[in-house]
A and B are shown apart, each in its own frame.
Chain A
Amino acid sequence: MSPILRSIGTILDSLSDVERGQLKQTLGAKSHQPSDLAHALLDTDGVLQVVRHASEDALSALKSWVLQNGQWRNIARRSRLAAGVEELSRAGWVFETQYGPYQSYALMPWELMPALLPALWDIPWQQISTDAPTRTIGPSPIWTPLWHDLFQFLSYARQETLLLTTQGDVYRRQKNKLEKLLWQRTSLIEGPAVDYLLMTLTRLFLLTSVEYPYRYEVSESDVEALFAKTPQALFQHLSEHVFDPGRTAWPELAWISLASLLEPNQSLDISAAVRWLASIGMETVRSPYLLNQSIGALILMDFWEMTGTEAGRLTASAYAALRGQFEQPAPAQSLIQPTGEILVPPDTSLAERWRLDALASRVKSDRVSTYRLDQASVKRGIEAGLTADTHVEALQELARNPVPDNVRVNLEDWYRAAGRHRIMEVTIVHSQRPEDSRDVETLLGSNALGRLSPQDVIIPADRIKDVMKRLEKAGTPILSEVLKPSEREDELSARHFPTDPRPSWSIHLPNPGREPEVSRESLRDLMVQAQRSGLPVRLTFQAQGETVPRTEAVIPVTLETRWIQVYVVSQRRYILVEWARILSAEPDA
């Protein structure tokens, strides 16, 4: 996920109570609760007020943020952009994200974009909008085609192994199966859609790649955490992925923001809107390749629908979501039929759906999804450590009707039948003779958990060293090698490791940081002297993308108008430093 584009919800949830208190003061919000803060921050009149009173630098910073897809790149400390961002941060609009140990970025919540567009430019609505078929806008539904597809893929990956090629791509035959799980849309090219959705799942860290065999695995904890979010938070989370400026150069955020300002029964004339966006400085919007790709992605992500060959608008669900209208989940509304079928209504929360998905076999997924309680679901239940009673209890928590008796009895019988034989992996001390084994059992005391046979004593798998020590002390030597007769040679060398490349990140109110301590003139003089003498100076500067200033002994080599080239003594290399990023300099003692 992008460190430079975040939703208001994510930002406010990341702030400490103290920071929220400060923000409350700045924004004049009712309380420091995230909902009140968000309301105050995104209030259209409030936005207009800030823009109206903004300096030229601040206006320029806002325009730059809009034109660069909702981000600022490389804010130099002494620049006008920095001054503008600083002014906006005083208005409570700018936050700072700490991404990994060295990087920090200034960011504004993307939700400000729809309010900023009309405040910063006169939008030629007559030219860029057209009439479209009428529609009713209700609350944004929980079970949209996109969530349907993502859920289906996760459910599939939970039950089948999604094997990967050496290039890290899912095998074609499995992609074919995934294509069949997609929501039936009027126009969709299934192949690219599957690829895009798989990419989305990996970018959302819901699927992670693991080795031996090389495959995707569902990250259960991440899925549970995501599905536990409110519909609004889910939408915000998804938006951070969709609008991530690092994903595409096409201005998707500006495009969606513009469309969200239309009336429900209006469409954007795509050509006219592209021309207008280009005219205000968004040049990348003109790229036909990026335009096609991005509109396609927005359609797949349920943000966009075409109303003509050259016109389109937000889907009803995205339109409602951008206005903060969300369908609220109805708890425990699934229906268990005596046929063993479970019908899951569309207003079921994703969290409940996910739990149910583990308890029954997926039959059909549609507006109302159908599951079936069968022997396969019992086998999965046993693997998950359920019993017939706990399985029924779990179902009961999700259903609006009691589990029918015949279904209960079937579950009971299947659990009894399927649980009769189990595959076990135990750690044992095997002895050659039963009498030796009896001695070992006596010596091990509480470390002997039981007996597998007259020659085999079961010991705790995590206490092997203790067991060895105890036997050694008692004069019963034992070899340290642990024999694994049930593992194949190649598996013995294999190690399973998850790959989670996420750096830690957090968001704070902006820290003004250190101000430059020397004037440009005295700094230049010092540098010229050092260049001539070849002696190092101690230079404190803030490198691009870093919040913590560095101090290094450097020897100036070239002095230009905007930057200097210096030799960093400790690193034995040359670097470029902008004058604007230098905070202090002094001769190196």
Chain B
Amino acid sequence: MNPIARLPVIVQSDRTILLEVDNPQYEDARDALASFAELVKSPEHIHTYQLSALSLWNAMAAGLSAAQVIEALARYSQYPVPETVAQFVRDQDVRFGRLKLLKAPDGDGLWLTSDDALALTQVGRTKAVIPYLDEPLHPGFRIRPEYRGLLKQALAKAGWPIDDVAGYEPGAPLPMDLVDALPNGEPFRLRHYQEDAVRAFWGEGRVDRGNGVVVLPCGAGKTVVGLGAMLMAQTHTLILTTSTAALHQWQREILEKTTLSPDHVGEYSAAVKDIRPVTVTTYQMLTHRQNEQFPHFQALDAHPWGLILYDEVHLLPAPMFRLTASLQARRRLGLTATLIREDGRAEDVFALIGPKRFDMPWKVLEQQGWIATARCREIRVKLGETQRESYAVAEDAERIRIAAENPSKALVVEELLHEHQSDHVLVIGQYLGQLERMAERFRAPLITGKTPNRERERLYGAFRTGELPVLFVSKVGNFAIDLPDANVAIQISGTFGSRQEEAQRLGRILRPKSDGSMATFYSVVSEDTKEQEFAQKRQLFLCEQGYRYEIAHASADGTPEERMAPVIPFRLGQP
């Protein structure tokens, strides 16, 4: 065989890059690609990367040249790099750095400038950019600081990346360190990939770094990456989370893993409005609107923050895009496991928070033991005769609900709970009626949006200690709850074909188990219905991360059906 054919990379003409995993040069090629291409998916055999203008601009900002990118592609590529791709890389090189964003020489705001007068003229006539340009400041334009993010976003869309070297507000100083040992005596330090993520974000404090997004699977310790960023910045920090439960979790983590005392850590929520050097709040608080104003945002914005952490950044609500733009003067780090936005605004997240700085295939972390090994199973349950008839004549929206609330699912859940009676089982659903009926049937507590925070915390606490073996949660449990010992999740209904919801729900059970055991994720869907179609779409993200779904079938009375695949749940894996 020709040795060239054994190289691990194939560069496609649409600028996707395929990387063969079962190849001796896989790791070298992966490291090379990570510096200028984005990892799109990493299923079992072939990983897919994408060369985009943004990924190349980031690479060029980090000092890579077009020639180096093309050379790296050619080094690992089985076939010559397509000329269209090489040309695209060269084009980005030509464009990158033509426009610079600096502090205005007179100290009033920022200055968009360039050595290329024609480029400035073109920018000055670009419709989408004009609203963000202030008076001419030769050569270039003065920019108001609050438009920094929006200007960058508009110029990126127009194909003119800015080399933003205006720097950040340093923020008020806050000396801090990480602890050496946790309260239970276990030694504590950043894991290697967490260190890498912090380094990729911080970039030795360079002006072109200090912003961006870190993507790590649930349970891989994104909070700790946030703490690492705080350690680097040594400055007052604002942390934005998705819920009060997550807010409290962050507070606990900060107090447990850093040298900061409770006096340093404040909560800014509906109940408590306490701004301290490190303040944790929620997106809802920040985007709360009163008389056309954002009172909480204004109160928080007045504080000298040097770093802003966005937890679960994929959930950044749309109003935050504008607010975030005005926070551009501060260093900012986004944390997420699944940067998928069903509204297609993932690119906006990159533009406003910063580019993806670090990503790690889920399966790599699983192999290294940093997250639990998980198996995913889908159980297709038949609709009962009555439901089948109702389903046949119902409107589309109603069909989805009929399929999701299929009463036969309860029978399957009963079987599963019986099978997993010695495990910690989280049952997650979308429809409150269905959840209430099941929780009542299995005499287990249920957490929904209506459950008071204190009660939620109590129930989560009881589940953590093992006092409660089964907990039912609505979609409030999708994110940012830390339940280390939950090892089984049963999804009984979900939001249409949401890929990120499926992944987040799996994430609830991915924290490594103290006994090293495996996690199991069940998705119970109604057979031959829209829900089954949605399930396939929902599973796509996890399949692309290298997870495999085993599929089984059950009849309407909940009994397993023997078909092609092994049947739920007890005979799975047996011949």
- Interface of A with B (CB < 8 Å)? 138, 141, 183-186, 335, 337-341, 343, 345-347, 364, 366-368, 401, 404-406, 408-410, 412-413, 417
A183 to chain B, nearest CB (A): 7
A347 contact set on B, CB distance < 8 A: 5
CA distance A265 to B113 in the complex (A): 44
Closest to A401 in B: B45
Which residues of B have CB within 8 Å of A412? Answer: 563-564
Of all chain A residues, the one with the shortest Cβ separation from B377 is A406
Establish whether residues A186 and B83, one from each chain, have CB atoms under 8 Å apart when the complex forms. Answer: yes
> Residues of B with Cβ closer than 8 Å to A?
2, 4-5, 10-14, 16, 18, 41, 43-46, 79, 82-84, 87, 378, 380, 527-528, 532, 536, 540, 543-544, 547-551, 563-565
Say whether, besides A184-B84, A335-B45, A413-B527, A343 and B18 are in contact (CB < 8 Å). Answer: yes
A147 to chain B, nearest CB (A): 15
Cross-chain pairs A/B with CB under 8 angstroms, 13 sampled: A186-B83, A186-B87, A337-B44, A338-B44, A338-B547, A339-B43, A339-B543, A343-B18, A343-B46, A366-B16, A367-B11, A406-B548, A413-B380
Q: A374 — nearest CB in chain B belongs to which residue?
A: B536
- What residues of chain B lie closer than 8 Å to A337, measured between beta carbons? 43-46, 543
Does the CB pair A367–B13 fall under 8 Å?
A: yes
B37 to chain A, nearest CB (A): 16
Say whether B528 contacts A338, CB under 8 Å.
Answer: no
Chain B residues with CB under 8 A of A410: 536, 551
- The DSSP consensus for interface residues of chain B is mixed
Q: A366: shortest Cβ distance to chain B, in Å?
A: 4
Residue ID in chain B nearest A136 by CB atoms: B80
Distance A176 CA – B304 CA, assembled complex (angstroms): 56
A368-B10 in contact given A186-B84, A410-B536, A410-B551 (Cβ < 8 Å): yes
User: B84 touching A366 by the CB < 8 A rule?
Assistant: no
Q: By DSSP majority rule, is chain A's interface helix, strand, loop, or mixed?
A: loop
Verify A138–B2 contact, CB threshold 8 A. yes
A366 touches B543 (CB 8 A): no
Q: How far is the CA of A404 from the CA of B550 in the complex (A)?
A: 9
Please indicate the chain A residues that have their CB under 8 angstroms from the CB of B527 in the complex. 413
In the bound complex, what is the Cα–Cα distance between A366 and B83 (angstroms)?
Answer: 14
Kindly list chain B residues whose C-beta atoms are within 8 Å of the C-beta of A367: 10-13, 79, 82
Q: CA separation between A455 and B544, bound complex, in Å?
A: 56
Contact among B2, B5, B13 with A183 in the assembled complex (CB-CB below 8 Å): B13
Given pairs A338-B549, A412-B563, 4 additional interface contacts (CB within 8 A): A141-B79, A339-B544, A368-B10, A413-B380
A409 x B565 contact (CB < 8 A): yes
C-alpha spacing A32/B494, complex, angstroms:
71
Q: Are A408 and B565 in contact (CB under 8 A)?
A: yes
What's the nearest-Cβ distance from chain B to residue A458, in Å? 29
B82, A338: Cβ atoms closer than 8 Å: no
Q: How far is the CA of A338 from the CA of B5 in the complex (A)?
A: 25
Q: Indicate whether A406 sits within 8 Å of B18 (C-beta atoms), given known contacts A337-B543, A401-B45.
A: no
For the complex, give the distance between the alpha carbons of A337 and B547 in Å. Answer: 11
Contact in complex: B18, A368 (CB < 8 Å): yes
Partner of B14, one of A335, A339, A366: A366
Report the separation of the CA atoms of residues A367 and B9 in the bound assembly, to the nearest whole angstrom: 11
Task: Note all chain A residues with C-beta closer than 8 A to B11.
Answer: 367
Q: B residues within 8 A CB of A338?
A: 43-44, 543, 547-549
Which residues of B lie under 8 Å from residue A184 when comparing CB positions? 13-14, 82, 84
B564 proximity list for chain A (CB < 8 A): 405, 408-409, 412
B252 CB to closest chain A CB (Å) equals 37
CB-CB under 8 A for A406 and B12, given A184-B82, A186-B83, A337-B46: no
Scoring A339, A364, A368, A413 by chain B CB atoms within 10 A of each residue's CB, the highest score goes to A339
With CB as the reference atom, state the residue of chain B lying closest to A141.
B79
Taken together as a complex, chains A and B put the C-alpha atoms of A281 and B522 apart, in Å, by 79
Contact partners of B44 in chain A: CB under 8 A:
337-338
CB distance from A340 to the nearest CB of B (A): 8
The 9 closest A-B pairs by CB, nearest first: A409-B551, A366-B12, A339-B543, A184-B13, A406-B549, A338-B548, A409-B565, A337-B43, A412-B564
